[in-house]
Amino acid sequence: MKVLLVDDEDTLRISLADDIREAGHDVIDFPAAPPALDYLRGYGDVGVIVTDWKMPEMDGMSFLRQAKQLDPDLLIILVTAYGTVQTAV
């Protein structure tokens, strides 16, 4: 089961991807939501999405909404720079 990682911050994305890989999971990462959605449409091998919340072009919320429409069984993990959980949940 693959992990799809979306984050516009390069340092965070590549280091998190390495963390997940070390934990024994397959990772594919994208710097923005639209190409990640394209991947989801093309391949059905993603089980978990790890995404940033605040991104230009498309924010985390609309990305997740569209991703859930493609596959309602997806597990979601939000990574956010916001200090509080309220905005994230």
Residues that bind another protein (CB under 8 A): 7-16, 18-19, 31-32, 52, 54-57, 81-83
Closest CB 60 distance from another protein, rounded Å = 12
Nearer to another protein, 30 or 40 (CB): 30
Nearer to another protein, 72 or 84 (CB): 84
**Residue 76: closest CA among 86, 87, 89, 57:** 89
Burial class (CB in 10 A: 0-12, 13-18, 19+), 51: buried
Helix or strand (DSSP H, E) at 1: none
Of 41, 44, 51, 43, residue with least CA distance to 4: 51
Q: How far is the CB of 72 from another protein (least distance, A)?
A: 29
Q: Shortest distance, CB of residue 11 to another protein, whole angstroms?
A: 3
